[in-house]
Amino acid sequence: MPVTLGNQFKSAALGAAAAIALSAGAATAEVEIEYWQYFFEARVNAMDQLILNFEAANPDIKVNMTTFPYADYRTKVAAAIPAGEGPDVVQLFYGWLNDYVAAKLIQPLPSDPFSPSMIEEEFFPMVAAMREGDNYWALPTAVRSLALFYNERLFDEAGIEGPPETLDEMVEIAKKLTMTDDAGNITQVGITAGMTAQDHHWFREVLVRQFGGDPYLDDYQTVNYNSEAGVMAAEFYTGLANVHKVTAFGFMDEPQAAFKAGRAGMHIDGSFRIGALNKTRGLKWGVAELPANSEGMKSNYSSYWVNAITTKAEGEKYDAAVKFMQYVTSDEAMQIWLDVVGELPAKPSVGLTEANSNDAVFGPFIRGLAYANTTKFANESAQRQILIDMVQRIDLEGQSAADSIAVAAEAEQTLLDEYYN
Amino acid sequence: MYRSLSVRHKHIVWAWAFLAIPVAFYVVIRFYPTANAMLISFQDWNLLGDRTWTGWKNYEKLWSDPVFWKVFRNTFVYLLIGTPVSLVVAFAIAYHLDKLRFMHGFLRMLYFLPFMTSAVAMAWVWRWFYQPVPIGLINNFLSTLGIPQVEFLRSTTLALPSILAPAVWAGLGFQVIIFMAGLRAIPGSYYEAARIDGVSAWTILWEITIPLLKPTIVFIVVFSSIGFLRIFDHVFNMTTGDPGGPLNSTKPLVLMIYQTAFTDYSMGYAAAQTVVLFLILLIVSLVQLRILRDR
């Protein structure tokens, strides 16, 4: 018995050695680079397609994609790169950039071919958040923005012609769509509301601006919504539930659930919701740009995932990584990403084509990009929590909008100060 | 060397040889991380960059953090309501179930079932019960009677008891079984003697049953106290979206630790909170053992 066991070990060891030798042989024939992203099926499919196209055009480069569950992604990246393992090109959320730069996980893109003047000419303006000095740290393939989803069936039943164009119209339409039962409870909301979903972006970058304010100063390092505009925006937002009674916070647990169930007339959400809504049977929905204020001023919020070259990539792998970055930020890649994932192109040259900008579904989102702002978050979930609490102090504890906004602004400023200093 | 040992010493060598595996296991997965957590609590670390030494800064931040004190209070509310309520209810059920013969096994199974159910699944079912109209079970019922809905989970006062109720219910089955085992262990002759003396049922309960159940009660109090101090699954699953309930009204310490570590990535601050939780658990357990120990 010990003899055969020994033989098995020996042959296993030989096999492993052979495998290593073989793969080493293959690696000398071409450059292999690692690409990492978190697992989201449509994104993985789209990236598979991009890698195939890239490898066909660059036969001497091989790209291996590895994906991880979202929850593990950050820890894996953080552990792998300093150890010299892991990705050469990595995907990260734009809000994580500062942390990745500070931890020396990524290196700036070379100004040739990624010169800031070229990028600023070709990309939508919110990409500028990725610039530092004469270099860009990272670039997106696709971006996301907000729009107003509306339930066409409920609109028809209430005899409403089309989606609202201004905030005042939105409130009037919402009133017609709201239904209550005999006990006075709302059973169908005119518009969903909840800072837990996308409304905190709507509040920060859209409502505060539309009421004449500027939510942040100093490149998002100073909170500035503790102003008349911020108070008016907070009063408008909480007024939807408390004055106009066209919504209820926490209705059907989550805003998107209410809209999917056909219990909400209107719903503000991101372009990433399109896929889920397409799969919802029996729901007839349309999309419109976010309502403007009474002067016609529009705003939007945009976020994105970017790709960056890690500090691990050196020599020929670095050159290959640059080529790969060039491809994933090309017009062709962006069109594929739009078709497969449904996320919006990061360049006007792809986004604002006749077909894309007039698309019934993507059009309102893409048009929104032209006037979108991107919040530079220090800690998105903590900053979101501050606005959740701001609304709850008004809604549950009866605090005045002015006091609640002041408390929120102070809390957020403390958080930003801790992060930047 | 081994041959020269006496039989007794050989036994000791073998005992340690076998114990080496669990000891090594515990050192690697318990003691090393515990020591590491204590070390991290004096450092600043966001999982990505280097760890930097900050001394007592994390503890000072904790001391002046109003959310921590709110959470600290919540944790003790879970403990101080949850433990006595579940103790009394479990004893009442066990006491009466013990006397019952008809469908005894079936009823016992019904009480034990929630203990075996996944806390996550149960929390989501209760979350649905508590929803406002038109989906919540309880509020839909109230609405058909024309009564305005109750905002269970969206109330700063009702949210914590609303989460505590299913948590108590979930632990009940286990406590009932332990109480019943304790009741069975009391010799029947004590009761016979008491009945011959003509003592009332109330006196029997107070003078015989409860004193003799003391070891059982100690076990359940310690066990359920640790459970309530560490409450997480029910709170997290019933309040995802706004974890910890409106204005932190339901947030326990464990949830705060989780958020600090894995949404804020402040590992040092989270470790400091963990050390505080460890000390609380240690003190509460020691105090309970001392108070409830046989005099």
Confidence of residue B238 (pLDDT cuts 50, 70, 90): very high
B154 and A381: CB-CB below 8 Å? no
Note the pLDDT tens digit of each residue in A334-357. 999 998 888 899 999 999 899 998
Cα B284 from Cα B202, distance rounded (Å): 31
Confidence of residue B5 (pLDDT cuts 50, 70, 90): confident
Distance from CA of A42 to the nearest CA of B (A): 24
Q: Give the residue from chain A lying closest to B142, CA to CA.
A: A183
- DSSP class of residue A215 equals S
B263 and A248: CB-CB below 8 Å? no
Q: What is the mean pLDDT of residues A272-288?
A: 89
> Which of A253, A263, A382 is nearest residue B264 as measured by Cβ atoms?
A382
Q: How many CB pairs under 8 A join A and B?
A: 86
Q: Give the residue from chain B lying closest to A264, CA to CA.
A: B134
Q: Give the residue from chain B lying closest to A198, CA to CA.
A: B241
Confidence of residue A186 (pLDDT cuts 50, 70, 90): very high
Selected residue of A90, A192, A253 to mutate for chain B interface (largest B Cβ count, 10 A): A253
Note the pLDDT tens digit of each residue in B153-212. 999 999 999 999 999 999 999 999 999 999 999 999 999 999 999 999 899 999 999 999
Q: What is the mean pLDDT of residues A271-288?
A: 89
Q: What is the pLDDT of residue A22?
A: 46
A252 and B153: CB-CB below 8 Å? no
Cis peptide leading into A59, omega within 30 of 0?
no
Cα A367 from Cα A363, distance rounded (Å): 6
Note the pLDDT tens digit of each residue in A82-96. 888 889 999 998 988
Q: What is the pLDDT of residue A72?
A: 82
Please report, for chain A, the start and end positions of each structural domain, with discontinuous segments joined by +.
31-144+303-373, 145-302+376-420
Q: What is the pLDDT of residue B66?
A: 93
- On the question of pLDDT at B85 being above 70, the answer is yes
Q: Give the residue from chain A lying closest to B145, CA to CA.
A: A183
Please report, for chain B, the start and end positions of each structural domain, with discontinuous segments joined by +.
61-292
Q: CATH homologous superfamily for A145-302+376-420?
A: Periplasmic binding protein-like II (3.40.190.10)
Q: What is the mean pLDDT of residues B69-79?
A: 96
- On the question of pLDDT at A9 being above 80, the answer is no
Q: Minimal CA–CA distance to A300: which of A164, A182, A162, A147?
A: A147
Same fold, A31-144+303-373 and A145-302+376-420: yes
A393 and B247: CB-CB below 8 Å? yes
- Let me know: does A240 contact A184? Beta carbons within 8 Å: no
Q: What is the pLDDT of residue A274?
A: 87
B48 and A389: CB-CB below 8 Å? no
Distance from CA of B262 to the nearest CA of A (A): 9
B131 and A252: CB-CB below 8 Å? yes
> Which of A183, A248, A385 is nearest residue B143 as measured by Cβ atoms?
A183
Distance from CA of B261 to the nearest CA of A (A): 11
- On the question of pLDDT at A49 being above 80, the answer is yes
How many C-beta atoms lie closer than 10 Å to residue A402's C-beta?
A: 14
Confidence of residue A174 (pLDDT cuts 50, 70, 90): very high
Note the pLDDT tens digit of each residue in B27-67. 999 999 999 999 999 999 888 778 899 999 999 999 999 99
Give exposure, A192-213, as e/b (b: 16+ Cβ within 10 Å): bbbbbbbbbbbbbbbbbbbbeb
Query: Which of helix, strand or coil describes residue A332?
Result: helix
- Let me know: does A106 contact A310? Beta carbons within 8 Å: yes
- Per CB-CB distance under 8 Å, the chain B contacts of A100 are 48
Q: Which residue has 């109480």 as its token pair? A: B179
- On the question of pLDDT at A37 being above 90, the answer is yes
SS (H, E, C) chain B: CCCCCCHHHHHHHHHHHHHHHHHHHHHHHHHHHHHHHHHHCCEECCCCCCCEECCCHHHHHHHCCHHHHHHHHHHHHHHHHHHHHHHHHHHHHHHHHHHCCCCHHHHHHHHHHHHHCCHHHHHHHHHHHHCCCCCCHHHHHHHHCCCCCCCCCCCCCCHHHHHHHHHHHHHHHHHHHHHHHHHHCCCHHHHHHHHHCCCCHHHHHHHHHHHHCHHHHHHHHHHHHHHHHCCCHHHHHHCCCCCCCHHHCCCCHHHHHHHHHHCCCCHHHHHHHHHHHHHHHHHHHHHHHHHHCCC
Phi-psi domain of B265 (left: phi exceeds 0; alpha: psi -120 through 50; beta: other): left
Q: What are the backbone angles phi and psi of residue A179, rounded to the nearest 5°?
A: -130, 145
- Per CB-CB distance under 8 Å, the chain A contacts of B154 are 249-250, 396
Cα A326 from Cα B10, distance rounded (Å): 70
Distance from CA of A143 to the nearest CA of B (A): 23
- Let me know: does A33 contact A62? Beta carbons within 8 Å: yes
- Per CB-CB distance under 8 Å, the chain A contacts of B58 are none
How many C-beta atoms lie closer than 10 Å to residue A131's C-beta?
A: 15
- On the question of pLDDT at B294 being above 70, the answer is no
Distance from CA of A351 to the nearest CA of B (A): 32
Q: What percent of chain A has pLDDT over 90?
A: 70
> Which of A99, A248, A252 is nearest residue B135 as measured by Cβ atoms?
A252
- Per CB-CB distance under 8 Å, the chain B contacts of A382 are 263-264
- On the question of pLDDT at A323 being above 90, the answer is yes
B149 and A100: CB-CB below 8 Å? no
Instruction: Name the fold adopted by B61-292.
Output: MetI-like fold (1.10.3720)
Distance from CA of B136 to the nearest CA of A (A): 8
A99 and B46: CB-CB below 8 Å? yes
> pLDDT averaged over chain B?
92
CA quadruple B252, B253, B258, B263: dihedral sign: positive
- Let me know: does A150 contact A352? Beta carbons within 8 Å: no
- On the question of pLDDT at A314 being above 50, the answer is yes
Q: What is the mean pLDDT of residues B81-91?
A: 96
Residue A60 C-alpha from the chain's centroid: 33
Cα A10 from Cα B78, distance rounded (Å): 59
Residue A91's H or E segment, with its range, is: strand A89-93
- Per CB-CB distance under 8 Å, the chain A contacts of B143 are 181-183, 185
Q: Give the residue from chain B lying closest to A72, CA to CA.
A: B262
Q: What are the backbone angles phi and psi of residue B149, rounded to the nearest 5°?
A: -70, 155
What own/partner pairs with CB < 8 Å and gap ≥ 24 does B218-224 have? B218/B288, B218/B289, B218/B292, B218/B293, B219/B178, B220/B87, B220/B90, B220/B175, B220/B178, B220/B179, B221/B83, B221/B87, B221/B288, B221/B292, B222/B285, B222/B288, B222/B289, B222/B292, B224/B82, B224/B83, B224/B86, B224/B87, B224/B171, B224/B175
Token reading at A118: 């070229």
Distance from CA of B250 to the nearest CA of A (A): 14
Distance from CA of B254 to the nearest CA of A (A): 17
> Which of B47, B48, B154 is nearest residue A250 as measured by Cβ atoms?
B154
> Which of A251, A382, A388 is nearest residue B242 as measured by Cβ atoms?
A388
Token reading at B252: 């326990």
CATH of domain A31-144+303-373: 3.40.190.10
Token reading at A83: 């150890």
- Let me know: does B248 contact B71? Beta carbons within 8 Å: yes
Q: What is the pLDDT of residue A21?
A: 45
- Per CB-CB distance under 8 Å, the chain A contacts of B162 are none
Query: Which of helix, strand or coil describes residue A165?
Result: coil
A78 and B47: CB-CB below 8 Å? yes
Residues in A whose CB is inside 8 Å of some CB of B read 71, 74-75, 78, 99-100, 102-105, 181-188, 194, 196, 248-254, 263, 379, 381-382, 385, 388-389, 392-393, 396-397
Q: What is the pLDDT of residue B43?
A: 95
Note the pLDDT tens digit of each residue in B198-213. 999 899 999 999 999 9
Q: What is the mean pLDDT of residues B132-157?
A: 91
Bridge pairing between strands A216-217 and A222-223: antiparallel
- Per CB-CB distance under 8 Å, the chain B contacts of A105 are 48
- Per CB-CB distance under 8 Å, the chain A contacts of B151 are 250
Q: Give the residue from chain B lying closest to A179, CA to CA.
A: B134
Residues 6+ apart with CB under 8 A from A374: A94, A126, A129, A301, A302, A303, A304
Cα B96 from Cα A172, distance rounded (Å): 60
- Let me know: does A242 contact A395? Beta carbons within 8 Å: yes
Calculate ∠ Cα B74-B78-B83, nearest 5°.
155
Q: Give the residue from chain A lying closest to B50, CA to CA.
A: A103
Residue type, A159: G
Q: What percent of chain A has pLDDT over 70?
A: 93
Distance from CA of B264 to the nearest CA of A (A): 7
- On the question of pLDDT at A2 being above 50, the answer is no
Distance from CA of A332 to the nearest CA of B (A): 33
Give exposure, B238-249, as e/b (b: 16+ Cβ within 10 Å): bbeebbbbbbbb
